[in-house]
Amino acid sequence: MSKDRNKSTELFKRAQLSIPGGVNSPVRAFKSVGGTPVFMQTAKGAYMYDADGNEYIDYINSWGPMILGHAYGPVVKAIQDKVQYATSFGAPTELEIEMAELIKSMVPNIDLVRMVSSGTEACMSALRLARGYTGKNKFIKFEGCYHGHADAFLVKAGSGVATFNIQTIPGITAGVSMDTLTAPFNDVEAVEQLVAANKDEIAAIIIEPVAGNMGCIPPAPGYLEGLRAICDAEGIVLIFDEVMTGFRLAAGGAQELTGVYADLVTYGKVIGGGMPVGAFGGRREIMEQIAPLGNVYQAGTLSGNPIAMISGYTTLKTLKDNPAIYDRLRATTTTLRDGLDNVLRSAGVPYTINMAGSMISVHFSEKPVTNFTDAVSANNNLFSEYFHFMLNEGIYLPPSAYESWFISDAISAEDLEKTINATHKFFNK
């Protein structure tokens, strides 16, 4: 069935007159899947409602942070209570301390944490800190991993960059590119070769421990352990970009899930409970290099904003006090995976489904998808057709084959059944 989205079409035309491309983040433009983006108006629980009043089961959940569902009651009330006192101080508050203490209590290898306003800011600050701590300039990132839009990270990035097929980024200098070394995801030998070829020049290795920007791609057995061993042997700072996975895959994030601990960790998404929040933290001797303790400068006028802090604090406290949420999320995601697996197998279409905790993605591929090259070689035109069919069925998937799906605790068994049945309908139409 086709949904009436006339108002979204009108809004998109209007938006393009005053916003570049009509959107404030590129993937929202639907360039990868084609068509007109849907303009949302309200959301509650597992559902979003567009400007035309259509309902959608939400599988992006604001790209991860709405782990408890949209407009979660305790978070909404906490924001309402806090906002009457001030929207910003530009001065320290007790709530910032409580937030840092809560994060430390959930992630055992973090000694100090600095709040910022976005995941991009967290990653660029962590990299600067690693460089300041080691006195080295080069770093290794992985093809298809996205760490925000800071200059150094846009070399062979995934997600939006892959969606738009942008291989070289205007505005990024040759010097920046020369300091950025790239390796395939899930390939320890490639990292060993880069380290050997750039002996004593590498400050950091930064990685999404579970990739989410080329679809969901978990680490191969022993892969993260191999990176940890290389960093220990070579004096390299290991940075886990947990902007997506932090507090989503487990209370302690991907570190808890994999048992591998980084020197620095970056956060975003869930840590803000829907507000623009990021953070980076890690070992004391590294974090003490940040100003005002050290000479590595980082600052932000709205860092520790009280409204953002109370939203994030309430979300994290809910997750910490209710560990069964993670069990439910894994069970829900497993049910979805198994249902989709049955449908796709019976349809005879080449596919692979990747899952980690409450992250999942479907790749229409004839082989396992373990890195960016595999993700690119999948039948992404079929994904685009599937996306639009599901959209018309009232199911909102990520508008790109290079994005992970995110499951919320608000989704019901009936929602999963509708999603699985709609998938069956698509492949049997």
Asked, for residue 399, whether it belongs to a domain, the answer is: yes
Domain count, the chain: 2
> Which structural domain range is residue 403 located in?
6-63+323-427
CATH number of the domain that 24 lies in?
A: 3.90.1150.10
123 & 234 share domain: yes
213 & 263 share domain: yes
39 & 133 share domain: no
315 & 180 share domain: yes
Asked, for residue 213, whether it belongs to a domain, the answer is: yes
Task: Say how many CA atoms lie within 13 Å of 290 toward its Cβ.
Answer: 22
- Per-residue pLDDT of 63-84, as tens digits, reads 999 999 999 999 999 999 999 9
Set 58, 59, 141, 241: catalytic member: 241
pTM of the predicted protein model? 0.94
99 & 201 share domain: yes
- Per-residue pLDDT of 175-192, as tens digits, reads 777 889 999 999 999 999
* Residue at a domain's end among 321, 351, 366: 321
CA angle 158, 48, 33 (to 5 degrees): 40
β-bridge pairing 395-396 and 55-58: parallel
Beta bridge partners of 352: 363
Residue with tokens 């997750």, as numbered in its chain: 319
β-bridge pairing 359-363 and 352-356: antiparallel
How much is the pLDDT for 65?
97
110 & 216 share domain: yes
* Residue at a domain's end among 268, 292, 321: 321
194 & 303 share domain: yes
pLDDT > 70 in the chain, percent? 95
CATH number of the domain that 280 lies in?
A: 3.40.640.10
> With contact defined as beta carbons under 8 Å apart, do 343 and 420 qualify?
yes
Residue type, 186: N
d(CA 371, CA 95): 40
Beta bridge partners of 202: 138
Task: Tell me which of 27 and 190 has the higher pLDDT.
Answer: 190
Average pLDDT across the chain, whole number: 93
How much is the pLDDT for 357?
96
- Per-residue pLDDT of 345-391, as tens digits, reads 999 999 999 999 999 999 999 999 999 999 999 999 999 999 999 99
* Residue at a domain's end among 321, 353, 373: 321
Average of per-residue pLDDT across 269-293: 97
- Per-residue pLDDT of 203-261, as tens digits, reads 999 999 999 999 999 999 999 999 999 999 999 999 999 999 999 999 999 999 999 99
How much is the pLDDT for 3?
75
How much is the pLDDT for 156?
58
d(CA 328, CA 235): 40
Closest CA to 227 of 240, 213, 215: 240
Q: Taking the CB of residue 307, how many other CB atoms lie within 10 A of it?
A: 19
- Per-residue pLDDT of 133-148, as tens digits, reads 999 999 999 999 999 8
360 & 407 share domain: yes
Whether 151 is a known active-site residue: answer no
Instruction: Return all residues near 136 (Cβ < 8 A) that are at least 6 apart.
Output: 200, 201, 202, 203
Query: Rg for the chain (alpha carbons), in Å?
Result: 21
395 & 261 share domain: no
Closest CA to 280 of 293, 298, 258: 298
Set 269, 351, 374, 396: catalytic member: 269
Closest CA to 158 of 231, 237, 243, 229: 243
Phi, psi for residue 116 in degrees, rounded to 5: -135, -165
Asked, for residue 1, whether it belongs to a domain, the answer is: no
CA-to-CA separations, 124 to 29, 236, 286, in angstroms, rounded? 25, 17, 15
269 & 346 share domain: no
Asked, for residue 42, whether it belongs to a domain, the answer is: yes
Instruction: Return all residues near 60 (Cβ < 8 A) that are at least 6 apart.
Output: 396, 397, 398, 403, 405, 406
275 & 372 share domain: no
Set 72, 146, 223, 326: catalytic member: 146
Whether 320 is a known active-site residue: answer no
Whether 269 is a known active-site residue: answer yes
197 & 246 share domain: yes
Asked, for residue 160, whether it belongs to a domain, the answer is: yes
Residue 325 has pLDDT above 70, yes or no: yes
Asked, for residue 68, whether it belongs to a domain, the answer is: no
